Structure 1
Amino acid sequence: MRIAFICTEKLPSPAVKGGAIQLMIDGIAPFLAAKHDLTIFSITDPSLPTYERRHGIEYVRVPNERYEHDVANELSKRTFDVVHVFNRPANVLQYKQVAHASRFVTSLHNDMFSPLKMKRDVAERVLAEVDLITTVSAYMKRTITNRYDVPDDLVQVVYSGVDITPYTPPWTEEGKQVRADMRQRFRLEGDDVILFIGRLSRAKGVHVLIESMNDVLADHPRAKLVIVGGKWFSDNRPNGYVHFLHKLAHSYKDRILFTNYIPSEHIPRILAMGDLFVCSSQWHEPLARVHYEAMAAGVPIITTNRGGNGEIIEQDVNGIVIDDYSSPKAFANAINELLCNKEKALALAREGRKRAETTFSFANTAEQLERLYVTICQ
């Protein structure tokens, strides 16, 4: 098959500036390119050429000023069996005009069928035109099926995944060495390290996590919260919320560390230094991909029962899921439990790693997509 991936207009592919969609594409593309002709469209970036072929994959990059128009122009010059539009379902209507012989797939990584983002008449046209919709969680599937009368098999849940290769669980010899090296680098020797990794936005709940540290430190005075991220992926410029977080953390002195954004290729080593990872999302998270990364790293996970997060984290099996997501006390209780109960923390971490190796591998994600592509092309 000839397959086209069309990224959003936000970030380039490969994921030189991060991004959950771009990282997913980086992970599944090699498996699909091994058997099919794959072309990936994305925005330009100073570090990347406008056109290249690498590892058997064709990359076409256009400026983001007229992204949809320029991608449509490039589509008109080629023929594809499947065109997969990532997280921009409304753009299917424009692309299909120049690639009417192709089968169209759109994937949802956010609630793009929200009335705030797409008028009902446009949404209904998109639903009539696409051959398949994939979603990153069952929660995201419901954002469509609860609003529109669509055949159940039109919308398929395809969870993202992770490449476990760069991750070193702490129970391995390599993992122990990486952990020691990273803790020395960040001056965390002897600390109980709590990790947050993600964008610094109110929706991500970093303020709630900081507020939980009062109760955590009462039980574990050597606890340290390490906050990894900037206001927007590679953008470390401060805004009002970031200033608020630093002010909130001021009284904790060296017990809270802000690292700013760290590129995705370094995240496996960052995770290696943690005793646990916390996703403090306050909004209906579609399903944060950092959960897959923490599982691969063999780090126990605490997350919130918001959106799709609880679909891959099973209570007391491969993590802890917090229902009272806005309560600093609830986070403190979960953190203290895992810092006190090392056996439980290790059991959760090992099960997470096991699931990352099997159920949530990029190979498995690519296989599911390929099977769906074949089905709609028959």
Structure 2
Amino acid sequence: MKIAFICTEKLPSPAIKGGAIQLMIDGIAPYFAKKHSLTIYSIVEPQLPAKSIENGIQYVRFPQVNYYNDVVKDLSQHSFDLIHIFNRPKQVKKIHHASPNSIIITSLHNDMFSPLKIAESEAKEAIQYTNAFTTVSEYIKRTLTDRYPKAKEKTTVVYSGVDINNYPLRSSQKGKAIRQQIRNKLQIDEKKVILFVGRLSKTKGPDLLIKAMYDVIKEHPNAVLVIVGGKWFSDNGVNDYVRSLYELAAPIKNHILFTNFVPSKDIPNILLAGDVLVCSSRWHEPLARIHYEAMAAQLPIITTNRGGNAEVIFHDFNGLVIDHYYQVESFTKCINFLLNSPELCQRFGKNGRLLTEMNFKFEHTATRLESVYEKAMKQK
């Protein structure tokens, strides 16, 4: 089968600049390339050629400014059995017309059917021309099917995942060595390390964690919050919000460490250096992939009951789920509780790792996605 993946116009593929969609594509592409002819479209990037073949996968890259028009033109010159459009239902109609005999799969990684993002007429056309939808969480599925019930029979949840081989066990010799190496590098050797990993945006809530640290360090004077991320994926620029974080952290600067952007390939090592991972999202998070990564790294997780987060983090099993996500005190209480409970942290970490091994490896994602493909092909 000839398959085309159409990546979004935001970041390149492979995921050299990060991005949940790009990382998912990187994870599942090898499985499809073994059985099928796979072409991946993405935007150009100075570090990458316009066209290349890597590990049996053909990459075609176009400038961001006219990206989808270039993709459509290229599609019309080929014959794909199946085209998978990532997170851009507004592009479905034109892609269908460029390749009318192809099966169209549209995956949703955000609330892309919000009336703020797509007109009702465009939404109905996207549903008409899409053979099957996949969503990264039950929450995102509801954002589609509650508005457009006709899409329900076409929609399947396909969770993302991780490459478990990139996450050595904490108890292993390799895991211990990496943990010590990273802690030495960051000069946090003897600290209790709370990790935040994500973009430095208000929706992600790192300001809540900095505020929480003012009280955490009263009970745990050797605690440090390590904030991993930049303003926008690989962009370490400073805007008003990032500047406010630095100012907020200044009075307790010995307990707050900003690393800036860390490449996705290095995240597993960073996670090994931590003791607790906190996802402080205020917004309706589709389902932040840091949860999968932290579970694979055997970290206890504190997350917010927003969007799809609580679909993989189960309160008192592999972490703690906060309902009052706007209250600094909620984060303070949970962080202190876990730092005072090393045996519970270990149990949460082990449970999370087991859950990942059983359900959230990239091979699980690829297998579920292939099942959707096969069903759509049969129904054509």
TM-score, normalization: structure 1? 0.99
Partner Cα distance (1:84, 1:173) in 2? 41
Partner Cα distance (2:280, 2:299) in 1? 16
Deviations 1:135-155 (A, max 9, x none): 000000010111112152211
Matches within 5 A, 1:43-62: 43-62=43-62
Shift of 1:325: 0.5
* Equivalent position of 2:200 in the other structure: 200
Q: 1:224 is matched by which residue type in structure 2? A: V
Partner Cα distance (2:72, 2:315) in 1? 45
- For the 8 Å contact 2:144–2:151, the answer to whether it is kept is no
Partner Cα distance (2:201, 2:153) in 1? 35
* Equivalent position of 2:367 in the other structure: 367
* Equivalent position of 2:298 in the other structure: 298
Q: Which moved more, 1:207-216 or 1:241-250?
A: 207-216
* Equivalent position of 1:275 in the other structure: 275
Partner Cα distance (1:324, 1:169) in 2? 33
* Equivalent position of 2:30 in the other structure: 30
Deviations 1:24-68 (A, max 9, x none): 000000011111111100001001111111101111111111111
Deviations 1:109-146 (A, max 9, x none): 11110000101111011111110111000000010111
- Could you tell me which runs of 5 or more consecutive residues in structure 2 were left unpaired when the two chains were aligned: none
Check if 1:188 corresponds to 2:199: no
Partner Cα distance (1:169, 1:250) in 2? 35
Partner Cα distance (1:149, 1:172) in 2? 49
Q: 1:69 is matched by which residue type in structure 2? A: N
CA RMSD of aligned residues (A): 0.8
Check if 1:90 corresponds to 2:90: yes
Q: Secondary structure at the match of 1:165?
A: helix
* Equivalent position of 1:160 in the other structure: 160
* Equivalent position of 1:223 in the other structure: 223
Matches within 5 A, 1:220-299: 220-299=220-299
Check if 1:115 corresponds to 2:115: yes
* Equivalent position of 1:68 in the other structure: 68
* Equivalent position of 2:330 in the other structure: 330
Shift of 1:253: 1.9
Q: 2:179 is matched by which residue type in structure 1? A: R
Deviations 1:219-252 (A, max 9, x none): 1110000000011000001000000000000111
Partner Cα distance (1:151, 1:105) in 2? 12
Partner Cα distance (1:215, 1:164) in 2? 35
Aligned residues: 378
Partner Cα distance (2:210, 2:106) in 1? 37
- For the 8 Å contact 1:276–1:299, the answer to whether it is kept is yes
Q: Which moved more, 1:145-154 or 1:134-143?
A: 145-154
Q: Secondary structure at the match of 2:35?
A: coil
Partner Cα distance (1:169, 1:221) in 2? 28
Q: 1:259 is matched by which residue type in structure 2? A: T
Q: Secondary structure at the match of 2:127?
A: helix
Partner Cα distance (1:66, 1:56) in 2? 27
- For the 8 Å contact 1:53–1:59, the answer to whether it is kept is yes
- For the 8 Å contact 2:303–2:320, the answer to whether it is kept is yes
- Could you tell me which runs of 5 or more consecutive residues in structure 1 were left unpaired when the two chains were aligned: none
Partner Cα distance (1:144, 1:244) in 2? 35
Identity, % of aligned pairs? 53
TM-score, normalization: structure 2? 0.98
- For the 8 Å contact 1:169–1:299, the answer to whether it is kept is no
- For the 8 Å contact 2:164–2:361, the answer to whether it is kept is yes
- For the 8 Å contact 1:2–1:36, the answer to whether it is kept is yes
Q: Secondary structure at the match of 1:150?
A: helix
Greater than 2 Å deviation, 4+ residue runs: none
Q: 1:200 is matched by which residue type in structure 2? A: L
Partner Cα distance (2:167, 2:156) in 1? 29
- For the 8 Å contact 2:127–2:151, the answer to whether it is kept is no
